[in-house]
Amino acid sequence: MNRRTVAFQILIFSIQWVLMIVGFGLLAEVLRPSRLIPSYVAYDRIIESAAKAGTALVMSVFWLYVWDRQVRLLVYRRER
């Protein structure tokens, strides 16, 4: 077994898991109760939902970007 790479991967998975929990916390505690679109705007509830879904999508992309950087930095810089 490649202990060094497995150890790095376990570290990366742990960080990603913590980031995922933190992300859900931000979505539940900060984004969900906040009002992004004023109520006088037409179709405010639909736009509000779309804006929140879009924010969650951006957070997911950032989460994958962090994963990508970690693998390249911790694992692939040592590739021969």
The pair of structure tokens assigned to 12 is 């990366």
**Angstrom distances, CA of residue 48 to CA of 24, 44, 62:** 18, 6, 21
Count the site residues for another protein by CB under 8 A. Answer: 30
Q: What are phi and psi of 57, to 5 degrees?
A: -65, -45
Site string for another protein, 2-41 (x = CB under 8 A): x-xxx--xx--xx-xx--xx--xx-xxx--x---------
Per CB under 8 A, residues contacting another protein are: 1-2, 4-6, 9-10, 13-14, 16-17, 20-21, 24-25, 27-29, 32, 49, 53, 64, 67-68, 71, 75-76, 78-80
